[in-house]
Structure 1
């Protein structure tokens, strides 16, 4: 065998391993995000079944979100000790067990236990799968990370949508058991196909210096991610009320939200690749300035133009996130990609849970239009942060060079 043939085989094997890593991560992301948003479908079912008030329902949703957000960093640490494949497979099984328990619940206490178990399992996916895709593709990871993020939106649409169809044919207990079985299938796929070696890579001195020099950029990136998540959740909180004020029916409001989510899925897929093509700064400036302008347009336009604009709003709202996720590996403190993703997701998921409360309090004080305008101002506030981040990314790019791992 010639050296050329050997190199060709190695390149082919690397391509296969990359593809296997990406699509397994996408499957896990779709399932976990689908499990997360399935709760929205189940809340009215639980309200009717157990006679729960809105406060109790809000507590259930917050409990699952808080558990998932709070355990991102511990999940990353568990992956360092047990390996990413084992941790993600166990987390997927745990999430499925949580829904299995929910099917046996007889009231609020049982649902609380079930959602805490599910939240524990869901906390493993984002830091581990993101880091795996990042390591598989390295400097070319922006586009694949966009695909990975797009898969999460597919799961958000497919699993609650499929569950609503299953509810026509079976009880909600049987439906969650069926989806728990689906989780077990995905867990087996993770155990078989996900890469085993996800432990931190030993870096040479040059790489360590580069990672250390990028450290100053990570807090800025995290701040941008927190504000971006806050804008997205604040907008979605008040959009139904604005549409209702314009005379939209409940079915129209549902269709409007679907338009936003469709645009959001497209934004996550496209902007990851656009970030790789045109750079982080240009993409973030366009998406955040576009978000602010689109939100202000929603405030002043009549209903029909607003509906036409909503897919573009969704694209802008969600597009930034793919660019930010793709930048995490570049600015990970000390090169610890798993830990950086865990911290980043803790901040963004936590902001997504807290922001609707803060904007809701503001809305009570200044009205829905004033609160929506505050989301546009928050989007505009990201622009100077992105400009401040740009020199750190430029320094990272200028310092980049092939690095041989230390022995």
Structure 2
């Protein structure tokens, strides 16, 4: 990476840039926490509404599907309205969805609530990451890493907070408290975050005509879809597996927090490993480790399984950091932003749909069989990664350029 000019360094240290990073990081933690606290609530909703595994997966899919499907439209909207306004309203909408969930009297109301909250969360990835990039300019690589890591902090904190709240109050009241937290974050965005401005789309007809790129992008995309399917499928069934081993509700929430903390560490460790050992070796290591870890958690009693969960989280989440870092290398020429939009939509869409498929397996053969299916999916990535390897080796020096 070339050295920054004095002007670029100065712009990267301006107070408004640091404030943008702080607010978007807080917002990212909230939204990722909103997304993953659902796993703590699944057993409660199963008991409350008498839901099958497939219907539970559908509830999760409504949230993730709304979040995935609206990211590209949100980018279009940000081209016409200040991104700060869109981000603030989206955060408020996500919080309002949990208000509806807390007041819902049946499965239809619950499904509507999750779809509303997911729609609100669709704003944070495209707008917040663009806001950080615009605020820091060419010095944005480090701040974007902090922004991404903040999401993992939310994944660890909010499920754990939810488990604690469930000890002292009914789940409906707990959701209202969490909704209030989201409303406070939305107010902070409106009051403290500098204006983002409208999204700027750089159009070059010549680059559009030559935007074929290298075919490896779609192989990478396929790996991302399957990797997300493994992660979301396992997280859907993990509470039930732990419950079958004798875990209480607070213990289950703590176990999920262990997975998410391990996942946060995995982003750092595997990103470093990918830069030194290569994408292929790292993907094979993490996916193989994921498959082994899943089967081990399935077979072990509760105590040893809990000890293994942080390491499983490292493997489970580590692949994603390698894949996201490789998108610019394989993106079509001058279409890196579009490639990221496709990649995010595909992976989040996979997170919405794949638990339904695993849920059908769970209904037919049990939670254990569905969990084994996630391990098989992780192993299915091996041949795709091997086919992808020549595309990665073709221009290795471009991996860090965008």
Same fold by TM-score, threshold 0.5 exceeded? Answer: yes
Q: Is 2:376 the counterpart of 1:377?
A: yes
Post-superposition Cα deviations, 1:335-354, rounded to whole Å, max 9, x if no partner, equal 44554333323222222233
Unaligned runs of 5+ in 2: none
Residue correspondence of structure 1 range 348-359 to structure 2 within 5 A: 348-359=347-358
Kept in 1, the 8 Å contact 2:96–2:179? The answer is yes
Determine if contact 1:299/1:369 at 8 Å carries over to the other structure.
yes
Q: CA deviation at 1:275?
A: 3.7
> Relative to structure 1, is the Cα distance of residues 175 and 299 closer, same or farther in structure 2, using a 3 angstrom cutoff?
closer
RMSD, aligned CA: 4.1
- For the pair shown, which has the larger CA radius of gyration, 1 or 2? 1
In the superposition, the TM-score normalised over structure 2's length comes to: 0.78
CA distance in 1, matches of 2:174, 2:196: 32
Give the SS at the match of 1:382.
helix
Say if 1:329 and 1:335, in contact at 8 Å, map to a contact too. Answer: no
Q: CA deviation at 1:238?
A: 4.7
TM-score under structure 1 normalisation? Answer: 0.77
* Distance in 2 separating the partners of 1:244 and 1:119: 27
Report the alpha carbon displacement of residue 283 of structure 1 after superposing the two structures with TM.
2.7
Distance 1:298 1:164 in 2: 21
Cα pair distance change 1:158/1:225, threshold 3 Å: same
Q: Does the alignment pair 1:30 with 2:29?
A: yes
Counterparts in 2 of 1:97-176, with a 5 A limit? 97-105=96-104, 107-133=106-132, 145-166=144-165, 175-176=174-175
Matches within 5 A, 1:10-25: 10-16=8-14, 19-25=18-24
Is 2:325 aligned against 1:326? yes
**Equivalent in the alignment of 1:313:** 312
Unpaired segments ≥5 residues, structure 1: 1-5
- Per-residue Cα deviation, 1:141-179 (whole angstroms, up to 9, x for no partner): 776555433322321232243344445666656544443
Say whether 1:84 aligns with 2:62.
Answer: no
Distance 1:331 1:310, change over 3 A: same
Distance 1:199 1:242, change over 3 A: closer
- Structure 1 residue 320: Cα displacement: 0.9
1:325-383 alpha-carbon deviations (Å, 9 max, x no partner): 23334444454455433332322222223323323444566666654444333222223
Kept after mapping to 2: 8 A contact 1:69/1:349: yes
Higher mean C-alpha deviation, range 282-291 or range 27-36: 282-291
Deviation at 1:272, TM superposition (A): 3.4
Aligned residue pair count: 393
Cross-structure match for 1:231: 230
Q: Distance in 1 between matches of 2:74 and 2:143?
A: 22
- 1:19 CA displacement: 4.5
Are the counterparts in 2 of residues 37 and 160 from structure 1 also a CA contact under 8 Å? yes
- After superposition, the Cα gap between the structure-2 partners of 1:63 and 1:296, relative to the gap in structure 1 and judged at 3 Å, is closer
Of the structure 1 ranges 220-229 and 125-134, higher mean CA displacement relative to structure 2 is found in: 125-134
Take 2:142 and 2:376, find their aligned partners in 1: how far apart are those partners?
29
Say which SS state the counterpart of residue 149 (structure 1) adopts: helix
**Pairwise CA distance, 1:125:** 1.4
